[in-house]
Chain A
Amino acid sequence: MELLLSQLINGVSVSAMLFIAALGLVIIFGLMDVVNMAHGDLIMLGAYITYFVTTVFHASFFLAMAVAFILTALFGVVIEATLIKKLYGKVAETLLATFALSIIIQQVVRMTMGPEDKFVGLPIEGSLTVGSIVIPQYNLFLIAISILILLATLGLFFKTSFGMQLRAVTKNRSMSQCLGINTTRIDSLTFALGSGLAGLAGALLAPVKSVTPYMGTAYIVDGFLTVVLGGFTSIIGTAASSVVISESVTAMAGYMSEITARVLVFCIIIILIRFKPEGLFTSERR
């Protein structure tokens, strides 16, 4: 029982990490219909930026978060303008192109930084002890910041004029153009936002994971599973499904190997999708 409880508590912080990693993917995929296979590598870039800011330049971790967000967002703008813009509407081609981009980014990073792991120190040390369960304070920070990111994104989408324009473009692109919305600018900004969130995810994950050129691949798979389960367009759905996935994996991992747990969860997702193809947490269908 105690094992289950500690696994469940552990699962909350894993959910937070998964949500942060998947959010940018949902925004780009759900709103722009672009499958960004390079998303994991943007996370990796964010982690490397954090490594440079904190370990090499000895600056604060919070500065690193901001720098990671801004730099990857700028990189996202460049990718969108040079590559994605040519391929809108062609899902298979964008998938292949970003796949190729992902290989290129990985190799460039591996060649310039070396294949070995880089370590980023925990910005918040110490841990909380409840009974026999130990919770690192950084995990609490992760949970708090993921809730903050969720609220900020929702606010951006539903309370600002940018969010309103974005939702309009998603629903009906040509009509929005007729109404004078600059759709090119919206596309560019959306991609920047998604990429920036990936960079931020990289910054937040860097202290708890080892930073390697290939770290992105793991997140892209988990991220896509989250998107599939949560519904393709829903941000709340992404949050809910990252909790469901992470909690079930960590709860089961207490009793079997983590990989086996993930295979089981994967099978359950496939079966669920058969009966509820729009995702578990979306009620309305476009």
Chain B
Amino acid sequence: MLNKIRNLGIEKYIDLILLIFLISFPLLASPFRVELMSKCVIYLIFALSLDILWGSAGLMNLGHAMFFGLGGYVLALSYAVKNGVPAFMVSFGVTELPWFMQILQNQAVAFLLGLLVPGAVAALLGYFIFTSRVKGVFFNIITLALASLIELFFNNQQKYTGGANGISGLPPLSFGGSPLSILETYYLVLVVALLVYIFCRWLNNCRFGLILRSVRENESRLQFLGFNPAAFKLVVFVVSGMIAGLSGMLYVPVNSFISPNNIGVVFSTSVLVWLAVGGRGNLTGAMIGAFLITWMESLLSERLDDSWQLVLGAVMLIVVVFFPKGIIGTLIDWRKNKTGHQQPSECDDSAEQAITPDNYNVIREKV
């Protein structure tokens, strides 16, 4: 037992410390900071959703915010149309709700759609990209293009999305008629984050996650073994999109406002930066990156206005050039060198190692 604890990777300790910190945070901080922290925890979920895609399967989605935004907009619209045609639609001459808005009047359906719409977009996009034999970088370019187009589209469809102003005045989460307090919302978000975290850990460690990592490391070798990488990429893309949609849905009641900024390129960049800075493929890096950068952002933007973006760019550049594995990845490497024996850390048992002629049969049977 003791040995098992000693062999636990350093990233697990950090996860535990982060969890304890997040649980005890409301005891120490003002409600304003707690509200900020709920947003931060939602970003952790969002970062986790990209990490199972980028970190595990090596699919760098440059437009990941589109899933976040789609989930968010579905729920926001459902809040807006709950009591008939909302004011912003009336001002554009809409007197009757179209059919796709009427569906959203039912909250349960809206919640389901908040997961299904991002999932469906991911499935369609993934089907066309992954089953085609196109170069790897194509995925990045197409996702970036789509995110920018969706942002423009939501800006453009003022009638239904409120245009650049977005949808504002959304109510907080309520349970059985009475709205939840800031503290209750915070813990609800934290529980969801914990569940998502456990799910992602499980996903990374099960056979599916193993195959995903071999997709990242050597796709053609995986094909020789008789697997179809496209199917695995498609599934992880859909799952990741749905988790991002979930985080978007949580964001709406906490922030009480959603705008095309939450769906577009800039927000997609932010989540990339979190993962690049924190390190990817080990979940901890994604969370630490999201945590550090959003706090840095909220502290710096209070003092520096928009110039914090410059700091962000500089940090990103330094990390990419000098610490390509990110903070946590570098930390894991450092600890491994120091203790001198192989840590059972996830980001390092690459498929390169996993599939060799010697253990080919073992792996084939296992999977």
Contact = CB atoms under 8 A, between A and B. Distances in A.
Interface of A: 35, 83, 86-87, 90-93, 95-97, 99-104, 106-108, 110-111, 217-218, 220-221, 224-225, 227-228, 232, 257, 259-260, 262-263, 266, 270-271, 273-275, 277-278
A248 to B, nearest CB: 15
B320 A266 contact: no
Interface residues of B, number: 43
Given A103-B313, A103-B316, A107-B310, A259 B152 contact: yes
Contact of B316 (A83, A96, A259): A96
Interface of B: 58, 60, 62, 125, 128-129, 131-138, 140-142, 144-146, 148-149, 152-153, 155-156, 265, 269, 272-273, 276, 306-307, 309-310, 312-314, 316-317, 320-321, 324
Majority secondary structure of chain B interface residues (helix, strand, loop or mixed): helix
Given A228-B138, A262-B149, A263-B149, A277 B310 contact: no
Contacts of B136: 91
26 contacts: A86-B321, A87-B321, A91-B136, A92-B58, A96-B320, A97-B321, A103-B316, A104-B310, A106-B309, A107-B307, A107-B309, A107-B310, A107-B313, A108-B310, A217-B265, A225-B141, A257-B156, A259-B155, A260-B153, A260-B156, A266-B149, A270-B129, A273-B128, A273-B129, A277-B132, A277-B138
B138 A111 contact: no
A16 to B, nearest CB: 21
Contact of B306 (A100, A107, A271): A107
A224 B320 contact: no
Contacts, number: 113
A194 to B, nearest CB: 16
Majority secondary structure of chain A interface residues (helix, strand, loop or mixed): helix
Contacts of A277: 132-135, 138
A225 B276 CA distance: 25
Contacts of A228: 138, 141-142
Residue of B145, B149, B316, B321 with most chain A CB atoms under a 10 A cut-off? B145
